[in-house]
Chain A
Amino acid sequence: MRSYGRNDRISNLELFALMLVFVVGSLLTLPVGYAAGHDSWISVLIGTFAGLGINGLYAYLCRRYPKKSLVEIAHLILGSWIGKLVGLLYAWYAFYLGSYVLRNFTDMTSAVLLPRTPTVVLGIVMVVLTVWTATKGIEVISRCSLIILLFIFVSTFIGCVLLIPNMEPYNLFPVLDNGWHAILLGAGQIATVPLGETIVFAMLIPYVNRTKFVGRTVLGAIGASGGLLLVTCFVNIFVLGEIAGEQLFPSYTSFMYISVGDFFERIEPLVFTVWIFNEFTKLSVCLLTTSVAFAQTIRSKDHRVYLLPVGLLILLFSTFLHPSQLDVVEFVKTVWPLYSVPFLLVVPLLLLVVSLFRRKGMHANLTDAEPK
């Protein structure tokens, strides 16, 4: 707790905004969850419920140990050595996630806005900005996210309204055309990629000033993101139909259809600037959580020391992890959901089970008065 620095308290509303922006960041830019073509909205529904489950799990865990981060909880109930291992695992998870966020971001910016600029230059600019932001602390990031959230709502709303002429609701039919398998595959992507990534917030929950309501906030944020995802999913299906799943950036492609009175055409770069804001928030959070998790693992007092090295490593990783953008997208669609299962489910479940047994062992004589 001492290592949190000065700007170290955020309200529940700020946590809500931060999580929403964090989740929406990859929702809109990645083609995840479209395995079932025009049935993907069912994937989104199922995936959202699964995401609520995953997030409920660690929110409950954090509630049992107020003012403790996931790494500190692991230290507490699994002992120092296994705790260190868990800490490193989560530092790695956030770090790896950050690399993918940056890679996806630079790829997309390069494809959409600046085709002739080397991607590493875009990455350097972004990393410099996020490291600078992360040194200011969680408070500044989450306040930024409040403003960014406003932009997201406005741009999504305007985008959807302007797309109405291009919408074709009959694209939804026939329902369940591709069978349940594809739908569940898509649901798995939704649950693990955008919604499950919020496990990094288990490192940030101790910053929240009123821990009592954190569970509600987390579930609310996931529910709201699921809602937003559902809206964009419907829009994409209405506009693009079956090809929604085959696009590299489905939402972006949809926005390309906007045309108002032959005057406002091709305004998707404006929407894209809002996504830059999203990715910026997401990368800042990854950077911060990696540093915090690492600092807590090695019991270091100040996590800010590690921000710059972590930022540079993220930059490095993002450049050589994959040979091409298609490779990244394929990896995120097929490997990432499986890869993230231990981080999202196994370890938190393990922690929860051990903590339940520990608690029982410790208070064997007391009547069971645990909060539900």
Chain B
Amino acid sequence: MFKKLLASGKSMSVYVERSNPTPSDSEQQSSSLAELEIRLQEIFSDSSDVVFRTFSIGGEVDALLIYIEGLVDEKQLKETILSPLMSSSDSSFSTTTDNTEFISFLQKSLIANGHVKRISRIHEIEQEVLKGLVLLCVDGYSESIAVSVPGGSVRSVEQPSTENTVRGSRDSFTEILSTNTSLIRRKIRSSRLKFDALTVGEISRTGMVIAYIKGLENERVLREIKSRIEAMQAEAILESGIIEQFIEEKPFSPFPQFLVTERPDYVVSALLQGQVAILTDGSPFVLSAPMTFWGFLQAGEDYYERVVYANLIRMVRFLFSMIALLLPSLYVALTTFHQQMIPTNLLLSIAAAREGVPFPALVEALIMEVTFEGLREAGVRLPKQVGQAVSIVGGLVVGQAAVQAGIVSAPMVIVVSLTGIASFTIPRYNFSLAFRILRFPLILLAGVFGLYGVSIGLLAILVHLCELKSFGVPYLFPMAPVSLKGLKDALFRAPIWTLYLRPHSVGPRSKGTGKN
């Protein structure tokens, strides 16, 4: 009982503490500058980065500038707002001072900026300031002007760091939403390319843009994505990955259901295929859905290079992704259960290498695979200065010394390193994770049941893939269910002129007319 009271008292005090400075949606701005300043000071109390700058317009009218330091280009602010307003002569606005249109006069004639917007609610003022706009309030008027003077230090557009291609554009997304949309717009100069802006996250209020090409997009997917994003209840969105986890269909599937990329050309090609892209402020990774199994195995060069080479390289990639999934488990199965399948000479050398090894193949494989995963994780986290040390330790100690000491056999080291290399041929990082995860149950199954276990594991994966859908599009489309049109770009790709840049994936739409 007492505890309960205490608890309620606590929550009350929290409530009071919070409610005070937070403006309600309908609170109007006061026309007195002094009152407004006090109110805003209250809202932005203890925020050292919010700058309140009072000055007078033409030496007559008091005005107040509010902005956040670091989000605004101070030099430009001075040139485009402060100087023209402060130095404007009496005569230029003596005719309009009595007029209630003074604010629009300011907006029209004195502020030399592109983005200008008039607002009158306290809560809007709060929002716009937090977004990084400059607020100009004038004494005697209950309206303010929000001016965009973007600045501060941001990362410039650089080469993509996780998705390299030999051929193709070299730009990659940055953390700034407007930069990212511009990178896409530069590649599609069409008014049919739409950017739908949203704000998500109760505290972080992260900006988001849903991009699609009107007439090509799959309406059902678009509607579904929008409704899921609106239904999302999150305090903060720090990365597009958080949105992905909120709105994907099967969160426990090892397979990703979104394309995650930092390359604008991939996003553009996805949009042209009818996909819907989600851009998030603060994240250089853009999501795009619906994706299929085959889509994850494709890279930019598949389309940029000539068709013969593109198909060859696609086959290589497919082969190696199968190696990444299966090689260790097949090795375990063959050496443990089905030695007759190994050619005799090879079998002899494997047997010779394994002679002194104290572990069964299953344990050996697990040890090496786990070690490799550890090395890989260390490689991602390590500070740049110690990279050399880790590669020496990893290469020499884990590789050579372990073999010489007879703890693991040399063929197993070869198998594991080949598997590791193979997993890097998968062009999408998030897709290769699925193969990394599934490798372990397959190794276990191979150790217990041999080839039978491997086939059972593969069947389970196949069943899961057949069931999996990305926003209503079957994951194995166009293989299961079959679509002859889609097969033009799945395992192989047809010559580019037959594709018309609309390969597959989103299904039931005819050529670019936008109808049905």
| Chain A residues in the interface with B (C-beta under 8 A) | 7, 11, 13-14, 109, 113-114, 117, 122, 125-126, 129, 132-133, 136, 139-140, 143-144, 146-148, 150, 262-267, 269-270, 272-273, 276-277, 280
Contact = CB atoms under 8 A, between A and B. Distances in A.
Nearest to A281: B459
B466 interface: yes
Nearest to A267: B341
B474 interface: yes
A270 B337 contact: no
Given A143-B481, A270-B341, A122 B476 contact: no
Contact of A126 (B456, B474, B481): B456
Given A146-B479, A264-B343, A273-B455, A117 B462 contact: no
Interface size class of chain B, counting residues whose CB lies under 8 Å from the partner chain: 20 to 34
Contacts of A272: 451
Given A11-B481, A129-B459, A140-B467, 13 more contacts: A11-B482, A113-B450, A113-B452, A114-B337, A114-B449, A136-B466, A143-B466, A143-B476, A144-B462, A147-B480, A263-B343, A269-B451, A280-B459
What 3 A-B pairs have minimum CB-CB distances, sorted nearest first? A143-B480, A143-B466, A146-B480
Label chain B's interface by main secondary structure.
helix
Interface in B473-512: 474, 476, 479-482
Contacts of A269: 338, 341, 451
Contacts of A7: 467
B463 interface: yes
Contacts of B340: 266
B459 A277 contact: yes
B270 to A, nearest CB: 24
11 contacts: A7-B467, A14-B481, A113-B338, A113-B450, A117-B449, A125-B453, A136-B463, A144-B480, A147-B466, A267-B341, A276-B455
B222 interface: no
Contacts of B450: 113-114
Contact of B456 (A125, A143, A146, A267): A125
Contact of B452 (A114, A133, A147, A150): A114
B193 interface: no
B487 to A, nearest CB: 12
B242 interface: no
Interface in B435-484: 449-456, 459-460, 462-463, 466-467, 474, 476, 479-482
Contacts of A266: 340-341
Given A136-B467, A263-B343, A266-B341, A125 B449 contact: yes
A265 B343 contact: yes
B15 to A, nearest CB: 45
A276 B453 CA distance: 10
Contacts of A264: 343
Nearest to A10: B481
A147 B456 contact: no
Contacts of B337: 113-114
Contacts of A267: 341
B456 A276 contact: yes
Interface string B71-95: 0000000000000000000000000
Nearest to A122: B452
A230 B353 CA distance: 46
Contacts of A129: 456, 459-460, 463
A267 B341 CA distance: 5
Contact of B451 (A13, A113, A133): A113
A68 B440 CA distance: 45
Contacts of A262: 343
A288 to B, nearest CB: 13
Of the candidates B463, B467, B474, the one having the most CB atoms from chain A within 10 angstroms of its own CB is B463
B454 A273 contact: yes
A114 B476 CA distance: 32
Of the candidates A13, A125, A148, the one having the most CB atoms from chain B within 10 angstroms of its own CB is A125
Interface in B34-75: none
Nearest to B334: A269
A133 B463 contact: yes
B250 to A, nearest CB: 13
Nearest to A116: B337
Contacts of B476: 143, 147
A109 B478 CA distance: 33
Contacts of A117: 449
B451 A147 contact: no
A356 to B, nearest CB: 36
A341 to B, nearest CB: 33
B84 to A, nearest CB: 65
Contacts of B462: 144, 147-148
B479 A144 contact: no
Nearest to B345: A263
A140 B343 contact: no
Contacts of A147: 462, 466, 476, 479-480
Contacts of B482: 11, 13, 146
A270 B449 CA distance: 14
A140 B466 contact: yes
B481 A276 contact: no
Nearest to A14: B481
A136 to B, nearest CB: 5
A276 B480 contact: no
